[in-house]
Chain A
Amino acid sequence: MGLSGLDIYKLLPKTNCRECGYSNCLAFALAIAKKAVSIDKCPHISKDVKQKLLEAVLPAMKLIEIGINDRKSLTGQETVLFRHEEKFHNPCLLGYILDDNLNEEEFDKRLLDISNIKFERVGEIIKLDLIALRNKSNNSEKFKNCIKKIALLSNLNIVIITDNLQILKESIDIIKSNNALIYFTKDLTDTNVLDLLKKYNPPIVISADRLEEFDNIIPKLIDIGLNNLVLETKSKNVQNKLWDLTQIRRLALKKKNRAFGFPQLVTVKKDDDFSGVMQAATFITKYANVILLENFGLEDIFALLTLRQNIYSDPQKPLQVEPKAYAIGQVTDNSPVLVTTNFSLTYYTVLSEVEASKIPSYIAAINTEGMSVLTAWAAEKFTPESITKGINDYAIKDKVKHNKIIIPGYVANMNKHLEDLSKTKVIVGPKEASGIPSLLKSLYK
């Protein structure tokens, strides 16, 4: 069970030697409790205590790696059921299912199409993570060839899906060299399969009909050295699936049941309607760690990647908008310019008031590293200098001809300094965004 910072502090040598890089032992203990630092940093700790502490901070859900080197995908090691409790750590991996029995040209085209899907949102590239190669050809050469191709042409990591032990055997080397996730859809507990896998301990998917089966199988797999597991329940409909995903996450994190302390996988197939994409969205919000998508369109993937970015954003870190000048409505060179920070909540608050005013305006979001107005001002990130830099970088003076900017009322006292520095006329706006519409109307009516 987790130890509190104070519990850990009591175990430390209390030398206050600062060799760990913290100002004293208590600060170090609190950092350990938050998993922000490794216990090894303490040079004076006894072996027993160290062992005790290591056990206490062991993650309840294992981290699984798929792929190799610097492009590998990580999944698992989640610590909470709800993002507000801390955050979701490793974004749910999204994979696209591709069959190996397509003709070569078609395969190449689809492979490239899938690999090239990417969108930019809030300064971040969002894209798929995995290609799930499904063995339909029953031809190990073809299968191996396809794996090679993916490794060569795509930067996505690989999942292999097969029910053919022979093919799995024949392609195990290339699977291993790519550290692909193995999804063997027949009985994994077959001794022949286990013999093949246990030599490498690769990431594998383990499926079961009911949760109790995991309780039986998994300790046995761990015993023979297979512990890179991804769990899948075979329940059919979305309602049962949601229940299973929730149960397993709870067993892992709340009950600390080691048999369930692994990431979970689901497969979703899209039919004509929206049910597939709605299911995938559901599983992104609730507890899937890997989702394999079949038959999805570009727009579906765009929406799902966006949702994943939202859900997996760190609620403790302020979300930022890209620092730039945003044109709201049909702006002209006479439109007002409102200066604010790039903390997204601040920006969206200003945005909605500007929209409500119905007066087309520019919002210049200054880079304050996601701090709100007052915090950024106190920390010297929202200063006459940084605002002037923003005004120049965003070419505000080319966009409007009136050379006036409106600043938040909370930073009214930088007014003159800012005028001197930016060579603009500064209008002090209201302290709260709710005052924006009336200001804009009084200025531009």
Chain B
Amino acid sequence: MIERIKVTFLGYNKEIYIEKGKSIMSAALSCGIHLNSVCAGEGICGKCKIKLRRGEVDIQNSDAISTQDLKYGFSLACLTYPRTNVVVEIPKSSRIEPVLRQEIYSKAKTIKQVDFKSQKCDFSYLPVVKKIYLELPKPSLIDNINDLDRVLRELSKYVDINNIKISLNNSRNLSNVLRKSDWKITLTIGEYNETYEILNIEQADTSSSNFGFAFDIGTTTISGELIDLKTQKVLGAKLTYNKQASFGADVITRIVHAKNAQGLERLHKAVIEGINEIIENLISEFNIDINDVTCLTCAGNTTMIHLLMRIDPSFIRREPYIPAITFLSAIKAHEIGIQISTHGLLYIIAGISSYLGGDITSGILASGIYKEQNPCLLIDIGTNGEIILGNKEFLIGCAASAGPAFEGSGVTSGMKATRGAIEKVKIDKNLNITLQTIDNVKPIGICGSGYINLIAEMLKAKILDKNGKISIVKNKRVKKTKVGLEFKIEKNIVITEADIDNIKRSKAAIYAAIITLLEHMQLNFDSIDKIFIAGGFGNYIDIEQAITIGLLPDIDRNKFIFIGNSSLNGAKQAILSNTAFKKTREIAKQATYFELSTDSKYMNEYTAALFFPHTDKKRFQTINI
């Protein structure tokens, strides 16, 4: 008989029995606790540290943890195998915690902001799933058509009834509901590619209780908004880390993980869990009946959509990088475990290619770039940096692997743009540092926009050379470590040369992608009307500082428009308007994907951009560092 061992997780109120020989990591996963891991449990990244409180364990050797840590009872969850029943504690740094925020706030400073309200006017209000209240004339010996036709006759005033279907179950209930409700009913109608389905039949007028969710499924974070489909209002928004992070930080590592036994299943579950968590949270907060949540729209990169749908993503990674799908017609959300109404529909925003997903299509929609007269750019900064160039005549885009640094991941003191994150930094001549944090509380880390600010200020104060190396040595803030120098910002908050390198690579990947794409189309910045900036930064990006570090081009500042999470905004428009949803499919077909990795110029542009602000000073003439 296989020996079973109990693992108790302190502070989680969770315990689980596992087979001997399984790691703490796998125990944690089995009871739904997601630990940080960049290497997907290979004992390399050292992110999944735990502390043993009771019991005995075997620990496999790894360079990823210091002997000092081991001495204090820390070990890596993926390399720790219980021998007896154990109690373990998970330090904060190893947890992937949901980050909740009250609302999506786009308080873009120093730059213009898109007015989403006025943009919505583009598409007529017509939610993808509607509730229609009907008062039917009662049947008589003269008006004696059958119940269903009676319903359809009335419904034909609202939708095309030639392409409508109804499930067996709903047909069975029809006659009763009609009579019980005195012929006053509310139909829930969903649309799939020009065909409709009567999803539900309710008594009386419930048409004002129709809710939906718009989701952005990011590699690092999942954001969702609860929308009142009747009033078109966003009731609330939440954000959580994508729990797939336990299986690797980037899409490639996750695709690799999906090949393991149960790998695909685990990744699938992890993303569904995140979605359900947000749904649960918001509907309880706003007291909404789960049965009134009739639909959701999801925009995500192509890998995320594969994993959401539990479709094998392996071929995305292999040349010639072909995804299984870029679009699927609406499905019943509960089929994949999403907890909304059992008849509720899940709509996927169509993607363009393996590396330009529905999140980008959605962003194209939200930014309105597809209807611009002159060429514009859309730059979405996430774990991948995607760039779209185009106007009403053409759309072409590319994806650069920027890494998650601008999302506050993979850097020593990095964090999401949430409460306590340093988002603004000022360094004066005497190297005095002034900080501003989100919600003005005690700083606990640095977010993406904080890093941009910090590095720009360090460059201006000559603390860094243009290569990003710390060039002052005799200063109490500078410390030498095994891997290079680090600079102290606050207690427990530092920036290391490796962090700066990391940010430098991220910004270089994005800037180089912009230039390469423009060159590919034989265009330059003079011919660009607007630059829409989306994604990654939460709520704030300082354009001037972003130009100082060379992330954004040094051009007329009035051309920049910050549009926040455009993937989510697009998903919201799509859920509120059928026409918008159809437009995303059209955009996905029309847009062309440009592969950077096969373009020889990209590598050159990339190394040229690995400098602050750039190797070519002429391109950053207004920047003086």
**A-to-B contact residues, CB < 8 Å:** 4-6, 9-10, 16, 23-24, 26-27, 30, 315-316, 375, 377-381, 412-413, 415-416, 428
- A24-B590, A315-B600 given; A5·B520 CB < 8 A: yes
**Closest CB pairs A-B (n = 6):** A4-B522, A316-B600, A413-B42, A413-B39, A26-B592, A27-B592
List which B491-548 residues lie within 8 A (CB) of chain A: 520-523
A23 surroundings in chain B (CB, below 8 A) = 592-593
A416 surroundings in chain B (CB, below 8 A) = 42
A315 surroundings in chain B (CB, below 8 A) = 600
A6 surroundings in chain B (CB, below 8 A) = 394, 521-523
**Which one, B44, B319, B591, contacts A413 given CB within 8 A?**
B44
Residue of A nearest to B38 (CB): A413
CA distance A24 to B587 in the complex (A): 12
CA distance A92 to B565 in the complex (A): 55
Q: Tell me how far the C-beta of A164 lies from the nearest C-beta in chain B, rounded to whole angstroms.
A: 50
CA distance A381 to B319 in the complex (A): 9
List which B58-109 residues lie within 8 A (CB) of chain A: 63
CA distance A9 to B523 in the complex (A): 14
Residue of B nearest to A6 (CB): B521
List which B589-604 residues lie within 8 A (CB) of chain A: 589-594, 597, 600
CA distance A16 to B589 in the complex (A): 9
Decide: A412 and B318 in contact? CB cutoff 8 A.
Answer: no
Residue of B nearest to A379 (CB): B319
CA distance A30 to B389 in the complex (A): 14
B590 surroundings in chain A (CB, below 8 A) = 16, 24
Q: Tell me how far the C-beta of B321 lies from the nearest C-beta in chain A, rounded to whole angstroms.
A: 8
B40 surroundings in chain A (CB, below 8 A) = 413
CA distance A315 to B521 in the complex (A): 21
Q: Tell me how far the C-beta of A375 lies from the nearest C-beta in chain B, rounded to whole angstroms.
A: 6
Residue of A nearest to B257 (CB): A413
- A5-B520, A375-B597, A379-B317 given; A415·B44 CB < 8 A: yes
**Which one, A9, A375, A379, A381, contacts B394 given CB within 8 A?**
A9
Q: Tell me how far the C-beta of B10 lies from the nearest C-beta in chain A, rounded to whole angstroms.
A: 29
Decide: A412 and B42 in contact? CB cutoff 8 A.
Answer: yes
- A26-B394, A378-B252, A413-B39 given; A5·B589 CB < 8 A: no
CA distance A315 to B603 in the complex (A): 12
Verify if B26 is at the interface (C-beta below 8 Å from A): no
A30 surroundings in chain B (CB, below 8 A) = 520-521, 592, 594
Verify if B409 is at the interface (C-beta below 8 Å from A): no
- Secondary structure at the A interface, as helix, strand, loop or mixed, is helix
Verify if B396 is at the interface (C-beta below 8 Å from A): yes
Decide: B520 and A380 in contact? CB cutoff 8 A.
Answer: no
Residue of A nearest to B252 (CB): A378
Verify if B579 is at the interface (C-beta below 8 Å from A): no
Decide: A412 and B39 in contact? CB cutoff 8 A.
Answer: yes
Residue of A nearest to B315 (CB): A380
**21 A-B pairs in the complex with CB atoms less than 8 angstroms apart:** A5-B520, A5-B521, A6-B521, A23-B592, A23-B593, A24-B590, A26-B395, A26-B396, A26-B592, A27-B592, A30-B520, A30-B594, A316-B600, A375-B597, A378-B317, A379-B318, A379-B319, A380-B317, A381-B319, A412-B39, A415-B42
B520 surroundings in chain A (CB, below 8 A) = 5, 30
Decide: A24 and B523 in contact? CB cutoff 8 A.
Answer: no
Residue of B nearest to A378 (CB): B252
Q: Tell me how far the C-beta of A171 lies from the nearest C-beta in chain B, rounded to whole angstroms.
A: 47
- A6-B394, A23-B593 given; A412·B44 CB < 8 A: yes
Residue of A nearest to B42 (CB): A413
A27 surroundings in chain B (CB, below 8 A) = 592
Extra 16 A-B pairs, beta carbons < 8 Å, given A16-B590, A23-B593, A26-B395 = A4-B522, A5-B521, A5-B522, A6-B521, A6-B522, A16-B589, A24-B590, A26-B396, A30-B520, A30-B592, A315-B600, A378-B252, A379-B319, A413-B39, A413-B253, A415-B44
Q: Tell me how far the C-beta of B450 lies from the nearest C-beta in chain A, rounded to whole angstroms.
A: 26
1/0 per residue, CB under 8 A from A, across B390-411: the answer is 0001111000000000000000
- A413-B39, A413-B44 given; A4·B252 CB < 8 A: no
CA distance A316 to B599 in the complex (A): 8
CA distance A10 to B521 in the complex (A): 13
B591 surroundings in chain A (CB, below 8 A) = 24
Q: Tell me how far the C-beta of B309 lies from the nearest C-beta in chain A, rounded to whole angstroms.
A: 22
Q: Tell me how far the C-beta of A385 lies from the nearest C-beta in chain B, rounded to whole angstroms.
A: 11
1/0 per residue, CB under 8 A from A, across B439-480: the answer is 000000000000000000000000000000000000000000
B593 surroundings in chain A (CB, below 8 A) = 23
CA distance A10 to B39 in the complex (A): 47
CA distance A412 to B44 in the complex (A): 7
Decide: B318 and A380 in contact? CB cutoff 8 A.
Answer: yes
Q: Tell me how far the C-beta of B247 lies from the nearest C-beta in chain A, rounded to whole angstroms.
A: 11
A16 surroundings in chain B (CB, below 8 A) = 589-590
CA distance A62 to B252 in the complex (A): 46
Q: Tell me how far the C-beta of A16 lies from the nearest C-beta in chain B, rounded to whole angstroms.
A: 7
CA distance A2 to B42 in the complex (A): 53
CA distance A231 to B334 in the complex (A): 75
Q: Tell me how far the C-beta of A409 lies from the nearest C-beta in chain B, rounded to whole angstroms.
A: 9
Decide: A24 and B589 in contact? CB cutoff 8 A.
Answer: yes
1/0 per residue, CB under 8 A from A, across B30-49: the answer is 00000000011010100000
> Which residue among B39, B396, B592, B600 has the maximum number of chain A CB atoms within 10 Å of its CB?
B592
> Which residue among B40, B520, B594 has the maximum number of chain A CB atoms within 10 Å of its CB?
B520
B592 surroundings in chain A (CB, below 8 A) = 23-24, 26-27, 30
A26 surroundings in chain B (CB, below 8 A) = 394-396, 592
Residue of A nearest to B319 (CB): A379
- A378-B252, A413-B39 given; A4·B521 CB < 8 A: yes
CA distance A412 to B38 in the complex (A): 12
CA distance A26 to B594 in the complex (A): 11
Residue of A nearest to B260 (CB): A417
B396 surroundings in chain A (CB, below 8 A) = 26
Residue of B nearest to A3 (CB): B522
Residue of A nearest to B599 (CB): A316
B317 surroundings in chain A (CB, below 8 A) = 378-380
CA distance A396 to B44 in the complex (A): 26
